[in-house]
């Protein structure tokens, strides 16, 4: 098992990518601690992991609150003795045209998606420095590379996560801490399943592989970065995007 004996925190672990990653990490031998405001969902994931013979716990944590983040990290370390991996995955979005984008939503999205990542990674890194190393993984997005309409707050936050990841990687390498980001494209989640058929078709046309990704595919990328297989990888953003960024802005060429 690739994560045997590792202690892992996953934020936003109740649903989607976070849930899939929690289940996969537990299968690979990790003890998983979930931090999420969706406490019922997080508790359900814990129950599923424990039912399969794994170890997990969960707590309600607002990642934008430094006190709550630090208290959760302290609780995990007190209970399990160390922290090996932080997967800062929690995120939200608000859709509106730039000219009508509310300041309150701008603040809310950046608080969770950028400040929250900063706080979680900083608290984890301080512990990892004490113990001599660890892994930090952040969830960015292809939106951090593209000016996607109607999502200015989300785009800016994810671009910030990419640069935060690079800065942490440079500063923390001397402490044996590797830091990398994952940048998913269109992933099949509860949210994207509600897209109108035409919107889904347009998005799919821009993906060279011709489909949305699965949450399990993102989880496997996170597993690689958390494992010893990525021992000499730091400061990078791994796009899990079906070729979207490589393909440019227009529709993919016809097959055949």
Give the distance from CA 72 to its chain's centroid. 18
Residue 65 and residue 43 in contact, taking contact as beta carbons nearer than 8 Å = no
Angle 31-37-38 from CA coordinates, rounded to 5°: 80
Which helix (H) or strand (E) covers residue 245, if one does? helix 244-247
128, containing H or E segment: helix 116-131
Residue 164 in contact with residue 233, Cβ under 8 Å? Answer: no
Answer for the pair 15, 190: CB distance below 8 angstroms, yes or no: yes
- Residue 46 vs residues 19, 63, 88: alpha-carbon distances, Å: 10, 19, 18
- Which of 39-48's residues contact partners 24+ apart within 8 Å by CB, and which partners? 39/14, 40/14, 41/14, 41/15, 42/13, 42/14, 44/14, 45/13, 45/14, 45/19, 48/23
244 is catalytic: no
CA distances from 120 to 10, 33, 61, 111, 153 (A): 10, 13, 11, 12, 20
Q: Which of 80, 101, 154, 244 is catalytic?
A: 154
Q: What are phi and psi of 31, to 5 degrees?
A: -90, 125
Catalytic sites, residue numbers: 154
């Amino acid at each position: 098992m690739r994560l045997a004996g590792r202690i892992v925190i996953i934020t936003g672990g109740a649903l989607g990518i976070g849930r899939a990653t929690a289940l996969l990490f537990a299968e690979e031998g990790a003890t998983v601690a979930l931090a999420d405001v969706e406490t019922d969902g997080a508790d359900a994931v814990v129950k599923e992991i424990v039912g399969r013979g794994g170890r997990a716990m969960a707590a309600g944590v607002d990642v934008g609150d430094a006190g709550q983040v630090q208290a959760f990290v302290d609780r995990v370390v007190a209970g399990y003795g160390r922290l090996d991996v932080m997967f800062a995955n929690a995120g939200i979005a608000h859709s509106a045209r730039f000219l009508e984008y509310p300041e309150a939503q701008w603040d809310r999205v950046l608080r969770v998606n950028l400040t929250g990542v900063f706080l979680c990674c900083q608290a984890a890194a301080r512990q990892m420095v004490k113990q001599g190393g660890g892994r930090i993984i952040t969830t960015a997005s292809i939106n951090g590379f593209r000016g996607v309409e109607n999502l200015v707050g989300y785009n800016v936050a994810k671009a910030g996560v990419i640069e935060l990841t690079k800065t942490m990687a440079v500063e923390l390498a001397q402490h044996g801490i590797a830091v990398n980001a994952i940048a998913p494209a269109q992933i099949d989640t509860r949210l994207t399943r509600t897209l109108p058929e035409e919107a889904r078709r347009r998005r799919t046309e821009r993906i060279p592989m011709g489909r949305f990704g699965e949450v399990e595919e993102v989880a496997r990328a996170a597993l690689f970065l958390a494992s010893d297989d990525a021992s000499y990888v730091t400061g990078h953003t791994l796009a899990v995007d079906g070729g979207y960024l490589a393909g440019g802005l227009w529709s993919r060429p016809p097959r055949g």
